[in-house]
Amino acid sequence: MRTAALPICLLLSWTLSVSAAVYHVSPGGDDNNPGTEQLPWATIQRGADAAVAGDTVYIHGGTYHEGAITPAHSGSAGGGWIVFSAWTGERPLIDGSGSESSTGIILSRNSYIELRGLVVANFSDTGIWIEFSDHVRLIDCVVRDVMYGIGVSYGSHDFELRGVEIYNFDLYGFDASPGDGLPCYNGYFFRCKAYAGNDRQQNVDGFALGHGDQYGFVFEQCEVYDVFDGFDISARETTLNRCAARDCWNGGYKLWQNDIRLVNCLAFRNAVTNVELDWSGTPKRVTLQNCTFHDAGTFNVWVENSADSLFMTNCILSGGDNIGLCFEQRDVRRYRGDYNLFHNDNAARAVTVGYEDEFSLDDVRTGAWKAYCGRDVHSRTVAGATQIFKDAMQYNLRLFKTSAAVDHGTPQGAPPEDYDGNPRPKGAGYDIGAFEWQGETTDVARKRVGHDRDFLRVEIFPQPARGRVELRIIAAVSGSVEAAIFDVTGRQVAAFRHRVVSDKEFSFFWDGAGSEGRSAPPGVYFCTVATERGAVVKAFVFSSF
């Protein structure tokens, strides 16, 4: 599809200069075979030895008891990527329990390498290790049951992880750290998850960017839970957008370096802190924009050193068991906060400065906190979290029509979409927090693709989906409603039909079963819902694991 759009001269030039090969690997193959689909190789390493720039190695389903898989060559910008991909609809497992190696895949001094749809599990050390490498893509991969999940070091840069899931690890899910003084930089993470640390006695990080002069990282729609620290960020110029950290044994977001931005982020039910600005020895600036922080055990937001600057706008700090906003030292000159919404279960400690100057919710409401710091001029307070969220007890942190957060934010710095991907603003003004209220039936998780119509709404849960996805339809029409699921090539993989009455809400469920009887491979899919009055298209990410 891509080459069809190329100019003829460029296509001819590309055809003459690149002779891409396709190889196949299967557990039932033989490394003495030619590596074709009919006569595949038996080991992934055989493919890794053979593949050069532009080549693709398809790995068929089954278990591969091998480790330390290392590509012998690199791709290039001109010659193309070397791709190691799961065969369509299959999920190959690289299993360390039967291997002499402690590490699953090693990329060392490799460039333009893509790993797609692979499962790496049961290694005593690291699932995937990347060093001295650049332009690496991991797409829809799973790493589980390892000591370390995915490690990046020794100056590796320009890498991306999309739809990667890491769980059941001992010490970290993902870590990028300098090696020999060489910092890592330019990393992109999209819809990745790290969860389920194995040992609560260890400082287990979900996503960690180690100390040193590392920079240029972006996290989009990533999630961590059931680890010690969720996002442990020691890299400057890092942005986290629409991310969530919950149920962490210590903290949700630990921020160490300069120019870190949290936008549309959630943190809730973390044991000690939701957000902490840790002192790294040099002053830094951290920006919290349109975030929701709820129910932390000790600190909702904690600033360790007064030399750090905190810019906090359109944020909700609520449900803290002890302290809402805490400044460790008696100096708030570098705090810049406004249009925030404060609530704390311990109403007497909405804000503390040096543990000596303390401000209750009433102090914030009546202006004592504003007079003290000169900030939060337009900020608000409420007496209970029920005045903010649809269901605080169940951690549904979306807003309702008369929420104290609705229409009380500022457009200054506000992102154009909310945590769910809904547009901002929706009503008379911008809302405070990570969610923009969309209406009584439309303020749940939605991803806009195409055009929503008032008579038809489509909501997809969860996102990304693992194993089973719910397609919730709200249809203010009479007659039949038809839904179908298509893959990125436009091929229909599933179809549904339902007859409805006016203003009916119902759901379809899809477990990945395709119309041809095979399970759909992980990736991006499109749900099309059609009525006699029109259609709506929604994109979603599906994983069978």
For position 407, what pLDDT does the model report? 97
Q: For the chain, where do the domains classified as CATH 2.60.40.4070 start and end? A: 456-543
For position 17, what pLDDT does the model report? 37
Distance CA 293, CA 538 (A): 29
For position 7, what pLDDT does the model report? 36
For position 264, what pLDDT does the model report? 97
Query: Rounded to the nearest 5°, which phi and psi values hold at 48?
Result: -65, -30
Torsion angle of the four alpha carbons 187, 188, 192, 197, in this order, in degrees rounded to the nearest 10:
20
CA atoms within 13 A on the CB side of 347: 9
For position 499, what pLDDT does the model report? 62
For position 486, what pLDDT does the model report? 80
For position 495, what pLDDT does the model report? 85
For position 494, what pLDDT does the model report? 86
Query: Could you tell me if residue 427 is left (phi over 0), alpha (psi between -120 and 50 degrees) or otherwise beta?
Result: beta
For position 19, what pLDDT does the model report? 57
User: Per-residue pLDDT tens for 477-503?
Assistant: 667 778 888 876 667 888 887 766 555
456-543 belongs to CATH 2.102.10.10? no
Surface-to-core class of residue 192, CB atoms within 10 Å of its CB (0-12 exposed, 13-18 middle, 19+ buried): buried
- H helix or E strand, kind and range, residue 531: strand 523-531
**Residue 326 neighbours by CB under 8 Å, 6+ apart:** 299, 300, 301, 302, 303, 351, 352
For position 12, what pLDDT does the model report? 31
Distance CA 305, CA 284 (A): 10
Distance CA 84, CA 57 (A): 5
Three-class SS state of 46: helix
For position 87, what pLDDT does the model report? 96
Q: Using 70 as the pLDDT threshold, list the residues of the chain that sit under it.
A: 1-19, 440-455, 463-466, 476-478, 488-490, 499-505, 515-518, 532-534, 543-545
Distance CA 493, CA 340 (A): 46
